């Protein structure tokens, strides 16, 4: 478990649900867009006051950033896998299919 990466992923997920771009959220909380990128990718972790600003901007309780139940939600997992597969090359898809077949069977 990497708290910085988990936090960044959760911020990104909540931001996407609201239809807000990374740049827009950075503006809303008054930080540099590059810093926003570093937070979402887990290269940086925000201080408490910035976490509160994120919560206000995204209209959620700050505790939402630390919840992990969404990672075990079947629908979320399937959507995440589909999102990743859409970006894969044909060759990668073929390999992934073989791995899944071996794993499931």
- Report pLDDT digits (tens) over 12-66: 989 999 999 999 999 999 999 999 999 999 999 999 999 999 999 999 999 888 8
Are 29 and 54 part of one and the same domain? yes
User: What is the total count of domains within the chain?
Assistant: 2
What is the structure's pLDDT at 101?
87
Same domain, 30 and 7: yes
Same domain, 39 and 79: no
Are 8 and 46 members of one domain? yes
Containing domain of residue 13, as a range? 3-66
Using 50, 70 and 90 to split pLDDT, how confident is the model at 71? low
Q: Which pairs count as long-range contacts for 12-18, CB under 8 Å and 24+ apart, including other chains? A: 12/40, 13/70, 14/58, 14/60, 14/64, 14/65, 15/40, 15/58, 18/58, 18/59
Going by pLDDT thresholds of 50, 70 and 90, the confidence category of residue 103 is confident
Q: What is the pTM of this model?
A: 0.66
């Amino acid at each position: 478990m990497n708290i910085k990466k988990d936090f960044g992923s959760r911020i990104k997920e909540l931001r996407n649900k609201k239809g807000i771009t990374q740049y827009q959220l950075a503006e809303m909380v008054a930080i540099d867009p590059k810093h926003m990128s570093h937070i979402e990718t887990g290269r940086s972790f925000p201080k408490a006051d910035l976490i509160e600003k994120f919560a206000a901007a995204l209209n959620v309780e700050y505790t939402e950033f630390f919840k992990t139940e969404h990672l075990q939600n079947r629908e979320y997992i399937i959507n995440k896998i589909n999102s990743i597969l859409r970006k894969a090359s044909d060759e990668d898809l073929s390999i992934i299919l073989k791995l899944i077949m071996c794993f499931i069977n």
